[in-house]
Amino acid sequence: MTPSNPFSSISRRTLISTAAALPALSGTLLSISAPARAGDLPTQGDPLPSWNDGATKQAILDFVRVTTDSSSKDLVPPEERIAAFDQDGTLWVEHPLFTQIVFCLDRVGPLVEARPQLKDREPFSTILSGDREAIGRLSARDLFEVVVATQSGMTVEEFRADVKKWLATAKDARWKRPYTELVYQPMQEVLRYLRANGYRTFIATGGSAGFVREYSEKVYGILTEQVAGTEQAFKYGYDKDHRPILIREPKLVLDNLGAGKIENFWLMYARRPYAAFGNSSADDQQMLEYVKAGSGARLSVAVLHDDAKREYAYGPAQGLPNTSIGTFSQEMYDMAKKQGWNVVSMKDDWKRIFAFE
């Protein structure tokens, strides 16, 4: 049994008897394509070192234990171990504007130049006004329209290159760092902890899947095929050299707002996740409800943005103003309490927010 092929001498019987331990590798395997970063390895004793002790941390530890301990009545077979994560506001910062919308902003100018009739139409006129507060008040559906309009007409390769180029240089105005560094360290630990216990981790975003897929592997260790999002159509065709191409079409196929997120998760993967993490009534509420209502042990976690100092505080559940994003409504808060979800207080539950702190 040499390091370069450690399994060549292992019999099939051994492989099957140890198969329950094998999914533990997938997280590590994926991380080979990710740059080394602070906190990349779980601490030996505590898999969630950036979490303060409390009900939510304990609920996550308990959930993993009872669904993976072979003597547990709630043991989940390896093929069914699936966890779904919203992205904006759950895995990374969404305030004051979704990162994807920032990406779209300077693409609206050229779009309107090519199609001047859009100039006086909402939401384009608000976008062109440059008034970020007004832009922040646009509805998620308005923002969809901007996304679909600005992310169409190019080949999938051209779009990919454009996103990568933007991500490499764009910086958040407050932290002066690339957006891909504004990911929540406590959630990175949850992703790795779940994968280390055989869970396959998925993103279920209300945003456009195509955008998130360009960094999901490097940033979260999540493969492109495990990113479900709002998605537009693709059209097969040929370029001038008669090579086949796929073009992004301005037509919405999968709409992940509202119940669409869990409806489309089933459409894509045919699984009810055992664990789900979200933060917004606009697109996570039904997913969290559906997951929690499943048989056996299920974990639904909702992130409350209540840390004005280290991150942001917003949303009706705290009596704060509503915005188009991250709407943690009072209704969802009551539902969480009634149905036994866990609510994360970023202020109290998270020891640190970002890896760079």
Note the residues at the interface with a copy of itself (CB under 8 A).
3-7, 12, 14-25, 28-30, 32-33, 41, 77-79, 82, 156, 200, 202, 209-210, 213, 217, 223-227, 231, 233-236, 243-244, 246, 253-254, 259, 262-264, 266-271, 286, 289-290, 293
Which residue number, 127 or 222, has a Cβ lying nearer to a copy of itself? 222
Give the C-alpha distances (Å, rounded to integers) separating 264 from 87, 98, 204, 254, 301. Answer: 16, 21, 9, 7, 20
Shortest Å, Cβ 308 to a copy of itself: 33
Shortest Å, Cβ 278 to a copy of itself: 15
Which residue number, 77 or 321, has a Cβ lying nearer to a copy of itself? 77
* Residues 164, 219 contacting (CB under 8 angstroms): no
Element (H, E) at 208: strand 200-208
Which residue number, 166 or 269, has a Cβ lying nearer to a copy of itself? 269
Q: Is 306 exposed, middle or buried (0-12, 13-18, 19+ CB in 10 A)?
A: buried
* Residues 150, 108 contacting (CB under 8 angstroms): yes
Which residue number, 58 or 72, has a Cβ lying nearer to a copy of itself? 72
Shortest Å, Cβ 4 to a copy of itself: 7
Cβ partners under 8 Å of residue 315, min gap 6: 304, 305, 322, 323, 326, 327, 328, 329
Shortest Å, Cβ 226 to a copy of itself: 8
What sign does the dihedral 248-254-258-264 (CA atoms) show?
A: negative
Shortest Å, Cβ 48 to a copy of itself: 19
Which residue number, 155 or 329, has a Cβ lying nearer to a copy of itself? 155
* Residues 327, 154 contacting (CB under 8 angstroms): no
